Structure 1
Amino acid sequence: LQPLPTSPAADVRSPNVQDSSLFSSPARSPASEFDVSSPLTYGTPSSRVEGTPRSGVRGTPIRQRPDLGSARKARQVDLQAEQPVVDEIVTSEQSLGQKLVIWGTDVNVAACKEKFQRFLQRFADPTAKEEEHSGMDLSEPLYMQRLEEMNLVGEPFLNVNASHLKAFDTELYRQLICYPQEVIPTFDMAVNELFFDRFPDSILEHQIQVRPYNALKTKNMRSLNPEDIDQLITISGMVIRSSQLIPEMQEAFFRCQVCAFCTRVEIDRGRIAEPSVCKNCNTTHSMALIHNRSMFSDKQMVKLQESPDDMPAGQTPHTVVLFAHNDLVDKVQPGDRVNVTGIYRAVPIRVNPRVSNVKSVYKTHIDVIHFLKTDEKRLHRIDDEKDQKLFTEERVEVLKDLSKKPDIYERLSSALAPSIYEHEDIKKGILLQLFGGTRKDFSHTGRGNFRAEVNILLCGDPGTSKSQLLQYVHNLVPRGQYTSGKGSSAVGLTAYVTKDPETRQLVLQTGALVLSDNGICCIDEFDKMNESTRSVLHEVMEQQTWGAGEAGIICQLNARTSILAAANPVESQWNPKKTTIENIQLPHTLLSRFDLIFLMLDPQDEAYDRRLAHHLVSLYYQSEEQVEEEYMDMAVLKDYLAYARIYVHPRLSEEASQSLIEAYVDMRKIGSGRGMVSAYPRQLESLIRLAEAHAKVRFSEKVENIDVEEAKLTNQPTPRVSLKS
């Protein structure tokens, strides 16, 4: 009898084992073997995988397990026997199929496959939201519709919601959470058999891989402990850094330098087991590694930081290292907020790379199975192709009907920050900032690029809701960053060079402005920011890039972000006896880069104070339903903004162009008689961006005079600061 190993990693398979009937599906011939795979390290597709449903299609990518090489088969033991099942005993699946499980688990392969196929064929969720399953019949089996869609699209990945699995079969869900290394490959076999039985003529890039997500065993990053090792978990956070693509060897190719005999060796637990003796000529130490004949897979290291909502008071954010493989590489970028589903790993640290001794303290990481971007309460991203498919024809018709209403501009602005009293003009300006202008790229003609982002500065007395407006915008937009002027440095806003703890190489760590690319960066206490920190904003606010040249790293980073800044006057209170420039005291070069500057003053008026107090008190005694009835639904506002930013790209008409020219000339005339410059060409570009944004509000592809007039009105609440020439 073969001794029972003490751990799955010590399992040694007898070379004489050929019994594959124990791992076959009840509906298929016993020729199908259960290849112990891992849902983690996706390797190069191998044609040597046997038992595939279609021999003409490339095999499933080798999903190696760190503890068991993919060349070994899963060992099974009899739960009802005191001794482990002898490998040489020939046993039929009918007699012992329900008793045999993979060693170290309670997973029976045949039963697990049968349960999962039943789940795919029967599960339906009539109570699901239509937004989650757009274009699908909720009364029909959900995942069978997904397989039909997969047959048409050709993407060999099936995302399975773990909460659906728990609602259908609690025991199968428990096995998935506790033994993902064994269960997920079993799911792969089950879905491939079901798919190719239903669509025998379908051709995919490789066989279907199941990706579970939304595991109910969701852990806070701080509460991860040794009990979670090798289990399926889901955590949330924000991506702060992603490494470059790293090639990881999956299969080594050796050739004898004496007789040219060639052999392939699977990578076992990250080690290359070099053959010491050639099997052909018995020469020792003659095998040489041939790199260009070896098989590699893509790998990327991603660093995930704890989200502010999950942090205890007074604590610094925690980080965790993620490893993404193959098609998951470059799925997320720094600044994305994601839910990560994967397997929690612990890896020993060697005392010395040349010695096999390891420390008692282990390093942990997560091998990623699924990324889910979580911005449900935020706007859709412009550059996300998936978000461009969210709008059904019915939803588009509703949005277009809404855009034809004459008061749509006022309705949208009143839906922004409804808890803040009045400030309608400021809300309209922020609304235009959310829509943005039309980005124009004339680099191929040598005229450069023209930014579409609108920058806004809020300046005024304390207690006028400046910070609340910033917080609201930060919570609304994706890739939004919030920072304070006093606590920010120049490198913290842009990027800085640091040493990678994994590779010990110098890498560029991005800051708030770069992380908010294609978003909005909210900067509070702008007046308290020192001069050296404010100087980095000049390039970002106009050229939308930031050039880095430090420690041998020379690059140009995209920072296509809108700036929403809030500042207090010099004396903390606005002094009406001083001019605007004396109250703000910001450099002229920086002020000219703001498209809109709003003054938020606290008037000394009894009637205004009474209305404001009534509004504040009503926020406490009114219920949420009463408040929501008065304003537009946030889901409608989110979709309206997203559709306009993605699909509406207005261009200037001839009449609007002439109106813009006249408006710019009038702005220049204001200070010409006193020998002062009241407007720069940047202010003309600001008017163009504001007019384009107002055209987006109407879903219009053409900028008309009404848009130019509204842009001029938006620019009037605070007259453009006069700057001496």
Structure 2
Amino acid sequence: MDFSKDKDLAKDFLINFADADGDAKYMLILQDVANRKIKAIQIDIEDLFNYKDLDEEFVGRVTSNTRRYVGIFADAIDELIPEPTEALQDDDHDILMTQRAEEGNENADGTDPKQKMPSEIKRFYEVYIRASSKGQPFTIREVRASNIGQLVKISGIVTRCSDVKPLMKVAVYTCEECGFEIYQEVTARVFMPLFECPSTRCKINQAKGHLILQLRASKFLKFQEAKIQELAEHVPKGHIPRTMTVHFRGELTRKVAPGDVVELSGIFLPIPYTGFRAMRAGLVADTYLEAMSVSHFKKKYEEYELKGDEEEQIARLAEDGDIYSKLARSLAPEIFGHEDIKKALLLLLVGAPHRKLKDGMKIRGDLHICLMGDPGVAKSQLLKHIINVAPRGVYTTGKGSSGVGLTAAVQKDPVTNEMVLEGGALVLADMGICAIDEFDKMDDSDRTAIHEVMEQQTVSIAKAGITTSLNARTAVLAAANPAWGRYDLRRTPAENINLPPALLSRFDLLWLILDKADMDNDLEMARHVVYVHQNRESPALGFAPLEASVLRAYISAARKLSPSIPRELEEYIATAYSSIRQEEAKSNTPTSYTTVRTLLSILRISAALARLRFAETVGQSDVDEALRLMQMSKFSLYSDDRQRSGLDAISDIYSILRDEAARANKMDVSYAQALNRISRMGYTEAQLKECLEEYAALNFMLSNILLRQAVVYDVVNDGKCLVSVIEMKDRRYANKRSPGDENYDPRTLQWWEFKSKHMDKVLRNLGELGCVQSLLPLAGARMTSRLDVNLRAFCELSHGLNGKDG
């Protein structure tokens, strides 16, 4: 088939195609190639579609026979490459080409193809044809045999990468007899070297000259092999993910790493088996993808280049005084509440700068956070959302991960047959985030592998003759359930957490998320969940939540800063740390252990907060917020209210009623109001009555009223009085503070406030009990048609009432 017409079309396209600005796009690229600024020439299929002088048949031929047309475009570029416009210093390639040009006439006759210099050895650039970005990529299982030789686009996750090795493209030999250079083009992974000189002079003289391979004069390309696996959402039900081998050459090497989610365009090609595998396989051939372009779904922070509109948007966000809260609330807005936890996760994404001391010691800047809580509080959802937002993240579970799977394993490389290290989850998450769900389900032997990673951020290996350390500069985000499935309030936090102290001390923040019954909170959460379920989006937050791409752009800009601690804050931080230690030392039952790691955690959180403000130095407000987050995380673990409620529900009900009276700034709490309040907190009416009975016997005076209504008031509550009218059975209660009690004070004056439907019966019953000596005029008393009475009586308690209680 004659491809000369297509070559002319390719030359016309390269010369005349203009971009949106009217510039000759590819001629400018060729000039940069001539000036040795770039080596790769990317030809977009979309540009071929848009060029007016090309028909669709030409584009179809390019996409269906891509490897041939890569060579056609390369031949066209050979003829169009301009002269360099800048002064260049000759490199090894130029020196060899100059020497060959001088000796070209003496080499041999040009009729022998093996003695003719191939065009491949002259090229100092590479040509790639990139697929259109408009179409949807194939899944790996959708690539069929009919796609052999075609340009296809697939998406997946990179599972492994080989080292970059040299791949021979043109082998150059020198004959010992005639001195001629012999060229051999290599088009496959394996080739048979030449041993006997094929030149005409050696054949005529029957010299059978021996050929010597000249590695210096030969041409090599960088070569890397990778495995790409189907994404989880592309795998049908009941199937396992499929994989495909990808070959990267030249400038496309080192573009991907294990764990990257990428979109590849390339040529789908067969590769025959060799050796004994070929004997067993017969006519069956393996397949691979020769990569033409690589694009990442999520760029790394250091690779993120802000565009003009993104820079303006980030500048506007940085000027917002509430950006800290908005960024946090933009994380998983579909998940209700957890505002402080989302702030902590935001700081986990931002991180603090790493510190390297003069003697080589390193202080990590990555934050580690552990979320401990009851089932169903969205721990796993938070983990997965953070992994989606982070440019580099690995998600794994505790029970499905072994120690080797987390750190590194020794395997044989199928390309080189050498023993190589295969990085585990923590190594794959280098410079990213490793989320470990079900952290408590891990075996102790496997969990110990994380200790070195969390503090030293390296993985030390001594296996199969390989002794080395791998970088694992990752932030660990763990989620765990308590030891008994749900958090047991009657047990200490140490008994509930069930993780070794050496591991817990490495976490900068440890949050406890409890699923407590609270009617108000439960109603809001239920409405939120139902709204998300119906509308597939979160309810209005008062502002437009920032998209994941904007979050990544903002965080990448913030991570470029390296804020320092000013001298004026040294004493403030030291005093705060020492006070925490002193409070812990004074506690009879210390529930946490504050170490120097806690101080470093405060510094890391403060630096992350300063990064969010785009500040060069840490401010006191950053330190205060860091201390607040530390305190809130500890409060969630070691709350006095939680310890009290775990020991005695009756005391918790009493504190709820007292807080309700203080909140309303009243001396009375109606029975209906009290029952409603404690019901929202998860308690029953029986527990309320039990509480009232017990406190009446201990600390209260209770007047028995024949109407089965009683007035209860607290006589020892910092001079305040809590009064309730409750429906009770016809029972009498004895007050321990009777006239015979040594603590009894006859001059004690108390205010009573109660409500009754029958005022006359109430007064008569109070008189029968002998507890009322005088009644003030009922000033302001109000009667209604229902005979509701708001009676405030001033009662003087005195002794000598025949043993009756007042």
Same fold (TM over 0.5): yes
Give the 3-state SS of the residue equivalent to 1:703 in structure 2: coil
Structure 1 position 111, deviation (Å): 2.6
Mapped contact 2:301–2:552 kept (Cα < 8 A):
no
Structure 1 position 154, deviation (Å): 2.0
Mapped contact 2:158–2:227 kept (Cα < 8 A):
yes
1:443-484, Cα deviation, whole Å (9 max, x unpaired): xx2250111100000011111111110110111112211111
Map of 1:214 onto structure 2: 131
CA distance, structure 2, for counterparts of residue 297 and residue 149 of structure 1: 21
Map of 2:142 onto structure 1: 223
**What amino acid is the match of 1:294?**
S
CA distance, structure 2, for counterparts of residue 618 and residue 684 of structure 1: 42
Mapped contact 1:493–1:513 kept (Cα < 8 A):
yes
Taking a change above 3 Å as real, the CA distance of residues 693 and 625 of structure 1, as seen in their structure-2 partners, is closer
Matches of residues 383-394 of structure 1 in structure 2 within 5 Å?
383-384=302-303, 387=304, 389-392=305-308
Taking a change above 3 Å as real, the CA distance of residues 625 and 597 of structure 1, as seen in their structure-2 partners, is closer
CA distance, structure 1, for counterparts of residue 168 and residue 28 of structure 2: 37
**What amino acid is the match of 1:418?**
P
Matches of residues 553-592 of structure 1 in structure 2 within 5 Å?
553-592=466-505
Check if 1:637 corresponds to 2:551.
yes
Map of 2:633 onto structure 1: 718
Give the 3-state SS of the residue equivalent to 1:714 in structure 2: helix
Give the 3-state SS of the residue equivalent to 1:656 in structure 2: helix
CA distance, structure 2, for counterparts of residue 467 and residue 217 of structure 1: 30
Map of 1:370 onto structure 2: 293
Match of 2:585 among 672, 677, 684: 672
Match of 2:259 among 335, 341, 344: 335
Aligned length: 592
Check if 1:461 corresponds to 2:374.
yes
Map of 1:158 onto structure 2: 41
Taking a change above 3 Å as real, the CA distance of residues 405 and 286 of structure 1, as seen in their structure-2 partners, is closer
**What amino acid is the match of 1:302?**
A
Give the 3-state SS of the residue equivalent to 1:556 in structure 2: strand
Map of 2:191 onto structure 1: 271
Check if 1:248 corresponds to 2:167.
yes
Mapped contact 1:117–1:191 kept (Cα < 8 A):
no
Map of 1:302 onto structure 2: 226
CA distance, structure 2, for counterparts of residue 628 and residue 233 of structure 1: 42
**What amino acid is the match of 1:214?**
A
Match of 1:552 among 461, 465, 469: 465
- Structure with the bigger percentage of helix: 2
Taking a change above 3 Å as real, the CA distance of residues 165 and 510 of structure 1, as seen in their structure-2 partners, is same
Give 5+ residue unaligned stretches, structure 2. 92-122, 639-806
CA distance, structure 2, for counterparts of residue 109 and residue 470 of structure 1: 53
Map of 2:507 onto structure 1: 594
CA distance, structure 2, for counterparts of residue 683 and residue 717 of structure 1: 14
**What amino acid is the match of 1:472?**
H
Taking a change above 3 Å as real, the CA distance of residues 264 and 483 of structure 1, as seen in their structure-2 partners, is same
Q: Which stretch shows the higher mean deviation, 478-487 or 140-149?
A: 140-149
Map of 1:428 onto structure 2: 343
Taking a change above 3 Å as real, the CA distance of residues 425 and 149 of structure 1, as seen in their structure-2 partners, is farther
Map of 1:315 onto structure 2: 239
CA distance, structure 1, for counterparts of residue 270 and residue 172 of structure 2: 29
Structure 1 position 650, deviation (Å): 0.7
Taking a change above 3 Å as real, the CA distance of residues 625 and 470 of structure 1, as seen in their structure-2 partners, is closer
CA distance, structure 2, for counterparts of residue 584 and residue 441 of structure 1: 34
Map of 1:113 onto structure 2: 11
Taking a change above 3 Å as real, the CA distance of residues 156 and 500 of structure 1, as seen in their structure-2 partners, is closer
Structure 1 position 277, deviation (Å): 4.7
Mapped contact 1:265–1:272 kept (Cα < 8 A):
no
CA distance, structure 2, for counterparts of residue 559 and residue 678 of structure 1: 27
**What amino acid is the match of 2:437?**
D
Taking a change above 3 Å as real, the CA distance of residues 464 and 368 of structure 1, as seen in their structure-2 partners, is same
**What amino acid is the match of 1:430?**
L
Structure 1 position 109, deviation (Å): 1.9
CA distance, structure 2, for counterparts of residue 227 and residue 196 of structure 1: 39
Map of 1:178 onto structure 2: 64
Match of 2:301 among 378, 382, 389: 382
Give 5+ residue unaligned stretches, structure 1. 1-76, 78-99, 125-136
1:42-64, Cα deviation, whole Å (9 max, x unpaired): xxxxxxxxxxxxxxxxxxxxxxx
Mapped contact 1:514–1:559 kept (Cα < 8 A):
yes
Taking a change above 3 Å as real, the CA distance of residues 506 and 623 of structure 1, as seen in their structure-2 partners, is closer
Check if 1:483 corresponds to 2:396.
yes
Check if 1:196 corresponds to 2:82.
yes
Bigger Rg, structure 1 or 2: 2
Mapped contact 1:414–1:631 kept (Cα < 8 A):
no
CA distance, structure 1, for counterparts of residue 210 and residue 37 of structure 2: 45
RMSD over equivalenced CA pairs, Å = 3.0
**What amino acid is the match of 1:684?**
L
CA distance, structure 1, for counterparts of residue 222 and residue 80 of structure 2: 29
Mapped contact 2:35–2:85 kept (Cα < 8 A):
no
Taking a change above 3 Å as real, the CA distance of residues 115 and 328 of structure 1, as seen in their structure-2 partners, is closer
Structure 1 position 500, deviation (Å): 2.5
Taking a change above 3 Å as real, the CA distance of residues 357 and 404 of structure 1, as seen in their structure-2 partners, is closer
Matches of residues 642-657 of structure 1 in structure 2 within 5 Å?
642-645=556-559, 647-657=560-570
CA distance, structure 2, for counterparts of residue 207 and residue 295 of structure 1: 10
**What amino acid is the match of 1:337?**
V
Structure 1 position 400, deviation (Å): 2.8
Structure 1 position 599, deviation (Å): 0.9
Map of 2:320 onto structure 1: 405
Map of 2:269 onto structure 1: 345
Mapped contact 1:278–1:286 kept (Cα < 8 A):
no
**What amino acid is the match of 1:407?**
D
**What amino acid is the match of 1:276?**
E
Match of 1:535 among 423, 442, 448: 448
**What amino acid is the match of 1:650?**
P
Give the 3-state SS of the residue equivalent to 1:603 in structure 2: coil
1:487-507, Cα deviation, whole Å (9 max, x unpaired): 111111111112223333322
Q: Normalized against structure 1, the TM-score is what?
A: 0.75
Give the 3-state SS of the residue equivalent to 1:554 in structure 2: strand
Structure 1 position 369, deviation (Å): 2.1
CA distance, structure 2, for counterparts of residue 675 and residue 624 of structure 1: 46
Mapped contact 1:433–1:454 kept (Cα < 8 A):
yes
CA distance, structure 1, for counterparts of residue 124 and residue 538 of structure 2: 49
Identical-pair percentage:
33
Match of 1:416 among 315, 331, 335: 331
Give the 3-state SS of the residue equivalent to 2:206 in structure 1: coil
Structure 1 position 360, deviation (Å): 1.5
Mapped contact 1:434–1:641 kept (Cα < 8 A):
yes
Taking a change above 3 Å as real, the CA distance of residues 640 and 358 of structure 1, as seen in their structure-2 partners, is closer
CA distance, structure 2, for counterparts of residue 505 and residue 457 of structure 1: 39
CA distance, structure 2, for counterparts of residue 630 and residue 217 of structure 1: 33
Structure 1 position 397, deviation (Å): 4.1
Map of 2:524 onto structure 1: 611
CA distance, structure 1, for counterparts of residue 30 and residue 546 of structure 2: 34
**What amino acid is the match of 1:306?**
E
Map of 1:34 onto structure 2: none
Structure 1 position 546, deviation (Å): 0.3
Taking a change above 3 Å as real, the CA distance of residues 383 and 630 of structure 1, as seen in their structure-2 partners, is closer
Map of 2:611 onto structure 1: 696
Map of 1:361 onto structure 2: 284
Taking a change above 3 Å as real, the CA distance of residues 370 and 680 of structure 1, as seen in their structure-2 partners, is same
Mapped contact 2:429–2:474 kept (Cα < 8 A):
yes
1:44-100, Cα deviation, whole Å (9 max, x unpaired): xxxxxxxxxxxxxxxxxxxxxxxxxxxxxxxxx4xxxxxxxxxxxxxxxxxxxxxx4
CA distance, structure 2, for counterparts of residue 541 and residue 304 of structure 1: 29
Give the 3-state SS of the residue equivalent to 2:490 in structure 1: coil
**What amino acid is the match of 2:607?**
E
Map of 2:385 onto structure 1: 472
CA distance, structure 1, for counterparts of residue 85 and residue 76 of structure 2: 15
Q: Which stretch shows the higher mean deviation, 310-319 or 449-458?
A: 310-319
